Structure 1
Amino acid sequence: MASPEEDDVMDEFMDKFKAQKYEGAFKEDTWEEEFDKIPIFLKKAPTEIDPEKNPDLACLQSILFDADRSPEEQAKSYKDEGNDYFKEKNYKKAIISYTEGLNMKSTNLDLNAILYTNRAAAQFHLGNHCSALNDVIAARKLKANHLKAILRGALCHLEMKHFTEAITWCDEGLEIDPKEKSLLETRARADKLERAKQRDERKEKLKEKREQAERLAVIKAIKERKIKLFPKPSNVMNDDIAMSDSLNELSLDERGFENVPGGKVRLDDNGRLIWPVLFLYPEYGQTDFIAAFHEESRFIDHLIVMFGDELPPWDLERKYHASNLELYFEDEETRQIYQVDTESTLLHALQQSRYFVKAGTPAFILFAKQSSFCLNYLSHKKVHRAR
């Protein structure tokens, strides 16, 4: 039992304690924030730990990853740290933590399989599907029946559009657990996508086959009409292929007609050729493009439409009337000029002995009759009359 003197001393101490302010106390208005900064109560670990600024946290980290602890204990700590980063969606940091865990070389195969699978999940969320797949393959080498690794591998194959492989991985997982919902859903999705892929491939093959047949039919029609191409096909053994290459030597995109429909020679329902035709006006540096010029159509019929009541804005002298135009083509080999009657058909012009179709697009030059530009231009050329 305390003496009166001892009671007096205790009372004096308590009075002094009550009057003295505790310097480390939480502030009334910010106590929750200060409480969250205590290492053991942290909800989110800082990205970088500075021992000088966070000595308590640095001490706690050193305890967690003490070199004196077993590799398995350290690996598990890194796994837990990686899981925390993963929950925060800081996948890059999570990958680093899982990698450090694997570097501990723990003999616990199940733990290592989990580290590989978790790292694969982080890689997957970063879009690194190939790296994620490598990790789940490594996980399955350690634990073949690890369902999470199998599901993650199936998802990786799905993202990489390897639908057959995704189905195979799902089937392997369903052998372990036939009722695993995620595997069933992933397999159904992969199967649907694989069927769509096969259907698209069949359509593409049929389309290629149809286009090839159409190309061969066009080439046959060109041969029958004795129309010549430039450059001339040089490989007799593969004459059809060479002609096809010549027809497609230059795309219309290079001539500025990328939005023009029907920019390739084709056959109509009656087996007649329809050509894309280019008209050149050297006097003004202008061009006209007709996407579908029937081989039996006359030049004058198109010119009447092109130069009817409304003349082109570049014809400042108003001299480019349909009845006042002269039509020419240039021999691609000799560079000599040949005049074509505007009353003739396109086929008649293409069958001229010195006409060569270049890049699958017949081209013709137009001048206003007896214009000073026309006379000057032709004065430097050798002009022939097409038959």
Structure 2
Amino acid sequence: MENKTENNKMTDEERLELAAKLDKELDEFINSLPKKKYEDGWPEDRWEEEMEKHPFFMTKTPEPGAELHPLYEGLQKLKYDPEENEPEDLATSYKEDGNFNFKYKNYRLAILSYTEGIKAKCGNPDIEATLYNNRSAAHYFLGDYRSSLKDCEFALKMKPTHEKALSRAAQCCYECKKFDLAVEYCDKVLDIQKTHKSIIDLRRKCIQSLKLKERNDRKKNQEEKKKMSEEETFFEEILRCGVTIEGGLGGLSLEKLEPCFPQLAAHRVHFDENKHLVWPVVFLYPEYKIMDYIQEFNETQTFEEQLLQVFECSPEWDREKKYSPDSLNIYFENPKKKLGTVKLCDTLGMVLALKDYVVKGGTPSFILLVRNSPAENRFLENY
């Protein structure tokens, strides 16, 4: 008997029929599964926010202190874990992060990254010099020229011929008005590259600024000498007039004679055209607890002359019309807390020359009370 093997090959029609049957059975199986709402995905109202947190989709570096996606945190740990990375690798990673933030003008974040890279202490002078130089650039763009210069100096300790560090150090010195030092840094750059146009221009500006500074310094010194001479002359005249200034004249300057009352601030004691002293003066009225501010009281004027001007029109507070020059007593308090008296015919210069009168705060002051009034009697009881 002869055995025959038959080849049961499927036709294309049979194959399509079988595929359709399997698809139908799969659909029936899926539809038969219990329906359950998918709750592990991103919520519809916050999917963009959640997507931005995912390290595969985020478009910017997380802010310091922001909550990190677990995957991002893991990648970060893998990248920055000192136990998993050599110091040089860590320094390089932080440098790259700093460069990324610097590129997008996130200078403060760049400084943080460069600082971490410096802390890694990788021992490679090229990398460490670059970290200091790059951090210097970030400080510079933030306008912190002193910190920028300091980082330049650190970079130059590791690489004395670092051209970018030398150039920026020159720029920082210029901004900090250290023109002499700026010229030195410019010269070091030009030793490396003689045709460096921006440094040549900067050096020229520094030289011009130095000359201007020297001229201004000379002018300032001349003005100070002139001022000192004028002050010496002024105080010699005060001594000649016998005026006693609180604290004495030792180390005294005109600034210390500035009136302490805002109403008299622009009326410091001065000379008139006849070389007479003109003082700001305060008249005190204890009865009403008010005062008058006399901006200019010439030392040659009498108190009567000045009071005639003050009471030319009766003040609003004097409703009884009892204040007038001939009805007043004038007092001053001496350093021993005792009262001195002033006559209407006395000039201001005569009173200020009295041994027991002391000018305080650059402003002579006097107490005015109606003669024999109850207010005067109450006042005198305190003395």
8 Å CA contact 2:133, 2:152 repeated in 1: yes
Number of aligned residue pairs: 362
For residues 211 and 103 of structure 1, do their structure 2 counterparts lie closer, same or farther at Cα, with a shift above 3 Å needed?
Answer: closer
8 Å CA contact 2:329, 2:370 repeated in 1: yes
The amino acid of 1:283's aligned partner reads E
Are positions 1:284 and 2:291 aligned together? Answer: no
Partner-residue secondary structure (3-state), 2:291: strand
State which drifts further: 134-143 or 33-42. 33-42
- Aligned CA RMSD, in angstroms, stands at 4.5
When normalised by structure 1's length, the TM-score is: 0.73
For residues 324 and 79 of structure 1, do their structure 2 counterparts lie closer, same or farther at Cα, with a shift above 3 Å needed?
Answer: same
For residues 359 and 76 of structure 1, do their structure 2 counterparts lie closer, same or farther at Cα, with a shift above 3 Å needed?
Answer: closer
Task: Give the corresponding residue for 1:316.
Answer: 319
For residues 163 and 222 of structure 1, do their structure 2 counterparts lie closer, same or farther at Cα, with a shift above 3 Å needed?
Answer: same
Per-residue CA deviation, residues 68-114 of structure 1 (Å, 9 max, x unaligned), is 66544443222111111223443343233223333444454322211
For residues 72 and 303 of structure 1, do their structure 2 counterparts lie closer, same or farther at Cα, with a shift above 3 Å needed?
Answer: same
Query: C-alpha distance in 2, partners of 1:350/1:98?
Result: 69
State which drifts further: 280-289 or 119-128. 119-128
8 Å CA contact 1:65, 1:77 repeated in 2: no
Partner-residue secondary structure (3-state), 1:270: coil
State which drifts further: 361-370 or 138-147. 361-370
State which drifts further: 40-49 or 116-125. 40-49
Partner-residue secondary structure (3-state), 1:326: strand
For residues 325 and 171 of structure 1, do their structure 2 counterparts lie closer, same or farther at Cα, with a shift above 3 Å needed?
Answer: farther
Are positions 1:223 and 2:205 aligned together? Answer: no
Task: Give the corresponding residue for 2:265.
Answer: 260
Query: C-alpha distance in 1, partners of 2:173/2:321?
Result: 67
Partner-residue secondary structure (3-state), 1:229: coil
The amino acid of 2:163's aligned partner reads L
Offset at 1:366? 1.8
Task: Give the corresponding residue for 1:349.
Answer: 351
Partner-residue secondary structure (3-state), 1:83: helix
Query: C-alpha distance in 1, partners of 2:123/2:337?
Result: 83
Partner-residue secondary structure (3-state), 2:318: coil
The amino acid of 2:250's aligned partner reads I
When normalised by structure 2's length, the TM-score is: 0.74
Offset at 1:139? 0.9
Partner-residue secondary structure (3-state), 2:296: strand
Offset at 1:185? 5.0
Gaps of 5+ in 2: 1-8, 31-37, 39-45
Query: C-alpha distance in 2, partners of 1:32/1:367?
Result: 82
Alignment partner of 2:152 out of 136, 149, 155: 136
8 Å CA contact 1:129, 1:159 repeated in 2: yes
- Identity of aligned pairs, percent? 33
Alignment partner of 1:294 out of 295, 298, 308: 298
For residues 64 and 52 of structure 1, do their structure 2 counterparts lie closer, same or farther at Cα, with a shift above 3 Å needed?
Answer: closer
Higher Cα Rg, which structure: 2
Per-residue CA deviation, residues 142-178 of structure 1 (Å, 9 max, x unaligned), is 2222222123323433444433323332332233234
Task: Give the corresponding residue for 1:385.
Answer: none
Task: Give the corresponding residue for 2:139.
Answer: 123
Task: Give the corresponding residue for 2:117.
Answer: 101
Alignment partner of 2:278 out of 242, 260, 274: 274
State which drifts further: 295-304 or 193-202. 193-202
8 Å CA contact 1:230, 1:332 repeated in 2: no
Query: C-alpha distance in 1, partners of 2:336/2:358?
Result: 9
Query: C-alpha distance in 1, partners of 2:50/2:374?
Result: 94
Gaps of 5+ in 1: 24-29, 234-239, 382-387
8 Å CA contact 2:244, 2:355 repeated in 1: no
The amino acid of 1:329's aligned partner reads F
Query: C-alpha distance in 1, partners of 2:67/2:306?
Result: 86
Partner-residue secondary structure (3-state), 1:277: strand
Partner-residue secondary structure (3-state), 1:262: coil
State which drifts further: 92-101 or 298-307. 92-101
Query: C-alpha distance in 1, partners of 2:331/2:48?
Result: 91
Partner-residue secondary structure (3-state), 1:314: coil
